[in-house]
Chains A and B, each alone.
Chain A
């Protein structure tokens, strides 16, 4: 059974069709990359999967059951966690507090939530900053905090929305490494990314969308040499024919 199946997903905003009949599947423990030019509908696709928007048409199946239109907090408890492209830390609270909000998803006990949060922070080599206010973190650490919070909910499927944008190259390498370790620990990962070096190195498969439509799918190498993809990114006149 596939972890996630998206069938004919369509999302309209007023007269604008942000996503048009998108199909995709993610197998267990796979890393699927989603790329596309700005405004292609990548984040909208994430929002439809994570329950922020209800799809206009089409279906989303998570572990075989249909989840369209279910609320984000319900989906979170079922095992879908996500990060936000524009980071949303609880700025006046400490790093540990932020992560504990996530780990409360599976327990009602403060001590258990704290223990779980500390485990996550140590896994991400973030424990030394646990008492810093989230509002005082650097952008790199804020992105790391997004991931830490999401992981604290113990997800089966993790949606990463441009977690590497704005990071230094060394930080990107660290994160790539970390995402690989996450997969090894059994988590399925769906990642939107603009940094090609990272997404090419990470993904098992890549889906490319443009104006809400899927224009290519396959291994990183295959996608990178695909004529439609190059056209979408660079414009028609750059394609060598």
Chain B
């Protein structure tokens, strides 16, 4: 077997196992934890298009989650629009906002870009907290919006059981990973990476760096907003503090940095590692040490940055290759996806 074939087999196996999980795991709690894990992996993969490939550090992506969640929820509560359609509309709106924000901020380098995006994210949160009505649209300010679980079913994007949510987010995650894979091998992927590492050299080689970044930003914001709608439909209650919080923006960045920015597997690995920490620390220490998970994240991040600055995907890829090497002989060693 060639290394490519082994990798493909492993990939198909992992996806099949993921699809089979609800047949074994019947507990709603554990399914919910897995759903959140996939959602964060999805969010981080979307973030990665800008934060990883384009080499900047956006820390305001929660705003786009919020735009997605509020758009679909308001449309469905007040106009009866299906959340599926609202999801797309929210995505498009987020993409437009993303481009408007990206245009001036991509000129900034390093920490200044990160600060600008924090300011933008917090600005959106404060804005929505202070708006009860915007024209005919009811934002309900800091109290948030509740989606009454009246008619469930696929067309209303609302289910009594956890399984449908599980499959929806899993499909979304697989799709966004596939998209990332194709982008990373395309001209856009090359241009983003080049522009992120050495913008001047990239420009001299015919790369319109600003344009590539804006395209990536539009896609990233669109995809991020889709997860916002999913989140709203999952919890049936959104308010600015939960869905547009700085914590969320930071957690996405934490997952990416620890897993490995700019790689395809990184965000998934990061989510696999950090989400259980977050959930179980909340379950067991939520009342005694609230916010313990953020402390743990911080420590893990520091350790990873010191010993594996390119994230955990690098040593894990190496270990994976060694394993393949051992079991399938020397011709089996290749690069993992």
Contacts and interface: CB of A to CB of B under 8 A. Distances in A.
Interface of A: 50, 52, 71-73, 76-77, 81-82, 84, 88-93, 97, 100-102, 104-105, 108, 110, 113, 149-150, 152-153
Interface of B: 185-187, 190-191, 193-194, 197-198, 200-209, 310
Contacts of B202: 90, 101
Given A71-B203, A113-B190, 20 more contacts: A50-B204, A52-B203, A72-B203, A73-B205, A73-B207, A76-B206, A84-B200, A84-B204, A90-B193, A90-B202, A97-B193, A101-B194, A101-B205, A102-B206, A104-B190, A108-B187, A110-B186, A150-B204, A152-B205, A153-B205
Contact of A105 (B201, B206, B310): B206
A110 B187 contact: yes
A77 B201 CA distance: 14
Chain A CB within 10 A, most for which of B200, B203, B310:
B203
A93 to B, nearest CB: 7
A76 B204 contact: yes
Given A108-B187, A110-B186, A113-B187, A102 B197 contact: no
Contacts of B205: 73, 76, 81, 101-102, 105, 149-150, 152-153
A152 B208 CA distance: 17
A150 B201 CA distance: 10
How would you classify the secondary structure of chain B's contact residues: helix, strand, loop or mixed? helix
A201 B205 CA distance: 28
Contacts, number: 73
A90 B194 contact: yes
Chain A CB within 10 A, most for which of B193, B197, B198, B201:
B201
A17 B197 CA distance: 31
A22 B40 CA distance: 58
A77 to B, nearest CB: 5
Contacts of A113: 187, 190
Contacts of A97: 190, 193
Contacts of A76: 203-206
A114 to B, nearest CB: 10
B262 to A, nearest CB: 8
A93 B185 contact: no
